[in-house]
Structure 1
């Protein structure tokens, strides 16, 4: 039986570019209504992503590195204020629009977070996403495309755990691998390995048969080994990085690097792929989907073209990749890496924790509406992890 839908809801609204003061908790936001082909979802958990902070602070320059701007690959900015952020949404279908089957009411699902620029299934050239170009999941309700809200009924996965496997991290990770054509048996370095994309990359390498290596810290080595890495390199000790790679791989160069860091380490990664070209059977490949180290890197282009290093920029993936990931989640081939949950009303505190996270941090943080906290958030509070 359809649930009673309130007229107003609580939501965290981003009211402008800037600091945490731009996040305003509003309990009188109108509940949106689903249109044709859409579903109204009662949100139970939404994963926190670094793109939430970067969009808030305007850290997506494409011309001047000092620009304060939003994600605008489609040609013009789509981030308007107020905006409800939050891309990796889990919840229950509460109501449907025209052209959607009534049987979907009550269904639990996970969102494919993309706002696709076309109907193409194999390419995504002008990506945008929910929580940026349209309202997202940092609210009690959200309207989403019915064909992108994928049912996941696995009883072993809680809603918070399912949100931690959201497409913003997992689809980005998978597209990093597919763009670089990574295959079974290849040695793959994952930088930023303890975060959401990093932990997804490690698991996805194992699913496709590649051998993942992690760049992280010694304190996080044990859980990274449990997740499936062959070796953990300490990012604080990289002066002899190529020698460390030789030892860890038995003398083989890295086949590919999945980089979320950028900055000064980039040339070290390239050297670790090119120190013995005679031992390679494929071109060196560098997939980049983040720049937590620095947005600007000095690169020797002679090294790039003489060693034929292939560089792939990755922001979002495709419909086909999203559906493959959903299949793997349903089949139990991917596991949640959930660090903690925060109440929606405490999103500012959550943001501070996310930025200042310490040596014990691994995986994802999820945000749970206060009205859903007792059922979906309490087991994952910081005190319980």
Structure 2
């Protein structure tokens, strides 16, 4: 077995702000697993909006704009993280693929050497369904933008597949978020699901996972991305901001309503998304990249018997389900680009520009 070094490479966030506060270190201490924990040698880590939003403090109630990657003004320390305040320094990165290198006292030694992805939701395992007792990898505790990270052994999900490490690092956050959104909205084979922001990591995962359930999907994305999205077999692909969404739906799928909107966009288009929901329709949301403050006509909400679902914490069953889908070949990785860890600034800038389709990751080797 390879000896565990004393120090490692790590990208460390030292406060809310610009790239100058996200600093590369060559000699950061390697963490050691405590009782019941596993040390993971990180092979790749995917980028997500959470990383950008936490760095900039976008989660703060003081911020009302869409996500831009820029620096926001004001006191963000108390509520600038995903689940409130965040302690610095912090190693971000919740989308981890790697190999178990070591385990702590009482942990299962059979895990050592296992290829794995890591469940990003950290639970009180004595009360795992309690939403108030959860924290988040890369936010409340150190994550995967480093050579090594420590996590409870119950968050380790061994996986056997022929995907590359970079491809595996597209799964943990994007696909679990998407599966949770579909679970909450009880999406099935009789549904038509509208997916704004379909070219992103969560959006492309929604297309695959809703399609896996037999639902018809309608993707909204920039025309330059339609070619890549067509590989995921949506029923229709529409421009990112159709002038008349109802008419566009009628022209492509033969109806001007959908049963489900699975949204990570929000912003000015929100009223149009709600207006195309059929009576009894469901709106399921896990993001607001175009802006968190939206206009809602409550008459549409209650007169049309709509149901809204917010999604952040997913049930423990979600991760094992994703591993089964991977091993059965039921989903496919949407890897847009990979960068070396040292190039995380460049990778985040590419992520912010949103010219890609699928996921961007950093790799350690």
Fold match by TM threshold 0.5: yes
Task: Give the Cα–Cα distance (whole angstroms) in 2 for the partners of residues 72 and 224 of structure 1.
Answer: 29
Alpha-carbon deviations, 1:85-141, whole Å to 9, x = none?
000111111111112232221111000111225644556355431111100000011
* Structure 2 partner of 1:175: 180
Aligned pair partner of 2:272 in 253, 263, 268: 268
Task: Name the TM-score, length of structure 1 as normaliser.
Answer: 0.88
* Structure 1 partner of 2:54: 55
Shift of 1:200: 0.6
For this pair of structures, how many residues does the alignment match?
354
* Structure 1 partner of 2:298: 301
Deviates more, 1:139-148 or 1:242-251: 242-251
Please report the RMSD computed on the Cα atoms of aligned residues, expressed in angstroms.
1.7
Residue 235, structure 1, aligned to residue 245, structure 2: no
* Structure 2 partner of 1:142: 149
SS at match of 1:95: strand
SS at match of 1:103: helix
- Per the alignment, do residues 104 and 114 of structure 1 end up closer, same or farther by CA in structure 2, a change over 3 Å counting? same
Shift of 1:300: 0.7
Q: Give the alignment of 1:355-370 within 5 angstroms.
A: 355-358=352-355, 361-369=356-364
SS at match of 2:220: strand
Task: Give the Cα–Cα distance (whole angstroms) in 1 for the partners of residues 275 and 268 of structure 2.
Answer: 13
Shift of 1:70: 2.5
Shift of 1:3: 1.6
* Structure 2 partner of 1:380: none
Shift of 1:72: 5.7
Does the CA contact (< 8 Å) of 2:54 and 2:82 recur in 1? no
Task: Give the Cα–Cα distance (whole angstroms) in 2 for the partners of residues 149 and 267 of structure 1.
Answer: 40
* Structure 2 partner of 1:286: 283
- Per the alignment, do residues 13 and 63 of structure 1 end up closer, same or farther by CA in structure 2, a change over 3 Å counting? closer
Residue 256, structure 1, aligned to residue 260, structure 2: yes
SS at match of 2:348: helix
Task: Give the Cα–Cα distance (whole angstroms) in 2 for the partners of residues 144 and 190 of structure 1.
Answer: 33
Aligned pair partner of 1:221 in 223, 226, 245: 226
SS at match of 1:319: coil
SS at match of 1:144: strand
Task: Give the Cα–Cα distance (whole angstroms) in 2 for the partners of residues 272 and 246 of structure 1.
Answer: 11
Does the CA contact (< 8 Å) of 1:44 and 1:92 recur in 2? yes
Does the CA contact (< 8 Å) of 2:6 and 2:30 recur in 1? yes
Does the CA contact (< 8 Å) of 2:122 and 2:155 recur in 1? no
Task: Give the Cα–Cα distance (whole angstroms) in 2 for the partners of residues 131 and 315 of structure 1.
Answer: 15
* Structure 1 partner of 2:67: none
Shift of 1:153: 1.9
- Per the alignment, do residues 351 and 224 of structure 1 end up closer, same or farther by CA in structure 2, a change over 3 Å counting? same
- Per the alignment, do residues 64 and 7 of structure 1 end up closer, same or farther by CA in structure 2, a change over 3 Å counting? closer
Task: Give the Cα–Cα distance (whole angstroms) in 1 for the partners of residues 126 and 317 of structure 2.
Answer: 11
Unaligned runs of 5+ in 1: 278-282, 373-385
Q: Give the alignment of 1:91-240 within 5 angstroms.
A: 91-117=98-124, 119-122=126-129, 124-125=131-132, 127-154=134-161, 156-166=162-172, 168-236=173-241, 238-240=242-244
* Structure 1 partner of 2:339: 342
Does the CA contact (< 8 Å) of 2:45 and 2:97 recur in 1? yes
Q: Give the alignment of 1:25-44 within 5 angstroms.
A: 25-44=24-43
* Structure 1 partner of 2:81: 71
Does the CA contact (< 8 Å) of 2:247 and 2:256 recur in 1? no
Task: Name the TM-score, length of structure 2 as normaliser.
Answer: 0.92
Does the CA contact (< 8 Å) of 1:37 and 1:145 recur in 2? yes
* Structure 2 partner of 1:310: 307
Shift of 1:214: 0.3
- Per the alignment, do residues 267 and 357 of structure 1 end up closer, same or farther by CA in structure 2, a change over 3 Å counting? closer
Alpha-carbon deviations, 1:287-342, whole Å to 9, x = none?
11111111111111111111111111112311111221122112221110101111
Does the CA contact (< 8 Å) of 1:124 and 1:317 recur in 2? no
SS at match of 1:348: helix
Does the CA contact (< 8 Å) of 2:82 and 2:139 recur in 1? no
